[in-house]
Structure 1
């Protein structure tokens, strides 16, 4: 044991001048790393706050803020390596990172595509959480935007995870972006009915339905077509998508019941 301690002391004494020479540079390197670490921490905190406010998506905002911090820390490490004179190491790291990124990017092309599409959607998003959208025939309410996919819930309660790449590349319909959505239903009237009176009665009945808008977006009833059995009239009405009570289906159900009861009470015969 004494021999071991003696060997250590001997090595320290032999390299004493070297240790003294590198100590200031070592202290400076540590200070620089701490500066970059704290800089990355505060930049991440600020970026996360700004991004979450603009994107309304804490998951993606936190990831992007963390990515910014990682870049700052990487720059700090490379700067310290250059400060110590390891220029060749820095060049090798950058070259290796470039080759690795190319290989990994090629192997995980689809994942990378969806990831980048998720970032694009976060900054220039055609929808927000809670909007009702339809894409490639799939319709539902947006629940969450992840880095790889967007989660939507269909009217029958199914959770669908739509790859962000397909959202960027395909036409998208947003039914609720401006807060209003129009719905409709058809009713058949018997030939020979008092059509103007029926249309007026239907419009008045629609105004009694909770959730149906009035004023500039008041209900409108028009003749759609004539068939062998009936005159088909269509009722158009608007609902506010920001107030989700009652829901679209409930409003439609109440509207149909209200109109049918009013027509039957007035003596109109309904046909298909």
Structure 2
């Protein structure tokens, strides 16, 4: 028992001495690796500050600045860590770390591909700036003002006051209508007049009525084009430009145009006809209905005569 205990103590002592010798031999490399890592941390901080300024020239969004600067910061520190491991002659550990990082990155890419697509789209939108906060846009069937643009989603406030979150991938990859990119906006209003009306007179009355609207774009002509022979009317579209692109102003101007045209046509004797539907009934069905009606009338007449005769008999 004593022999086994002393033998174990000797083995442990030998191991500790070997580790101490190895540590002593690696101590200079270890110190150099630590100094390299500290140096790279300092360099990473300096590069992060510089990248903040450089990215600020392309985008004023704090989220984008933070993303790029922190990504560069982490990349520089990882580079310093790999160089430190190389100094310590831990090449196998470096290879294992790189292989593990690659596998983890590939797995995360497949697992979170939608999130990655939204992040990349958010970065692209930050640089290209197709939309800005406060602008009135239409995207993916929603119309509203842009409230926030994050890396993952774009938040808009719809015209009825609802907050809508749209993934950046859908915003970036689909068409966007930006109503406030330009200061003016056109209204296209469809109207119809009767076939018997004077088209020249109807055109003049409509243009004069629209020209009375407040907020028309100066230098833009009001235009009217007859488009088709409809089922109950001759249809046209009248176009006029507004000096503002806001949705509320657009709705008010269009509403005023409808009221002005309706009033002008009522005073000028121009008809805005109701839709007319013509029902084509086969002659055989008409004859059958007529015969059925005649038979019913005859039966009702006979019944009335019998009832009258019965009343006379009772009276006698």
Calculate the TM-score normalised by the size of structure 2. Answer: 0.65
Change (3 A) 1:89 1:247: farther
Where does 1:96-111 land on structure 2 (aligned, <5 Å)?
96-111=100-115
Matched, 1:183 2:187: yes
Counterpart of 1:132 in structure 2 is 137
Give the distance between the partners of 2:101 and 2:110, measured in 1 at CA. 14
Give the distance between the partners of 2:267 and 2:76, measured in 1 at CA. 74
Change (3 A) 1:97 1:21: closer
Matched, 1:151 2:155: yes
Give the distance between the partners of 1:131 and 1:65, measured in 2 at CA. 31
Counterpart of 1:89 in structure 2 is 93
- Of 44, 52, 57, the residue aligned with 1:50 is 57
Alpha-carbon distance, 1:34 to partner: 4.3
Query: Is this contact kept in 2: 1:185–1:236, CA < 8 A?
Result: yes
Q: Relative contact order: is structure 1 or structure 2 higher (C-alpha 8 Å, sep ≥ 6)? A: 1
Query: Is this contact kept in 2: 1:206–1:212, CA < 8 A?
Result: no
Query: Is this contact kept in 1: 2:192–2:235, CA < 8 A?
Result: yes
Instruction: Compare CA radii of gyration and give the structure with the larger one.
Output: 2
Give the distance between the partners of 1:226 and 1:43, measured in 2 at CA. 67
Query: Is this contact kept in 2: 1:207–1:214, CA < 8 A?
Result: no
How many aligned residue pairs are there? 252
Query: Is this contact kept in 2: 1:36–1:76, CA < 8 A?
Result: no
Give the distance between the partners of 2:52 and 2:153, measured in 1 at CA. 25
Give the distance between the partners of 1:134 and 1:146, measured in 2 at CA. 16
Counterpart of 2:260 in structure 1 is 258
- Of 29, 33, 50, the residue aligned with 2:36 is 29
- Of 208, 233, 250, the residue aligned with 1:230 is 233
Query: Counterpart of 2:204 in 1: which secondary structure?
Result: helix
Change (3 A) 1:101 1:219: same
Query: Is this contact kept in 1: 2:48–2:69, CA < 8 A?
Result: no
Structure 2 residues without counterparts, runs of 5 or longer: 1-19, 275-316
Say which is worse superposed, 20-29 or 57-66, in terms of deviation: 20-29
Change (3 A) 1:78 1:253: farther
Give the distance between the partners of 2:33 and 2:208, measured in 1 at CA. 84
Give the distance between the partners of 1:61 and 1:263, measured in 2 at CA. 60
Counterpart of 2:177 in structure 1 is 174
Give the distance between the partners of 1:245 and 1:189, measured in 2 at CA. 28
Query: Is this contact kept in 2: 1:44–1:66, CA < 8 A?
Result: no
Query: Counterpart of 1:152 in 2: which secondary structure?
Result: strand
Matched, 1:118 2:118: no
Change (3 A) 1:218 1:89: farther
Change (3 A) 1:109 1:22: closer
Alpha-carbon distance, 1:121 to partner: 3.2
Structure 1 residues without counterparts, runs of 5 or longer: 1-13
Query: Is this contact kept in 2: 1:51–1:61, CA < 8 A?
Result: no
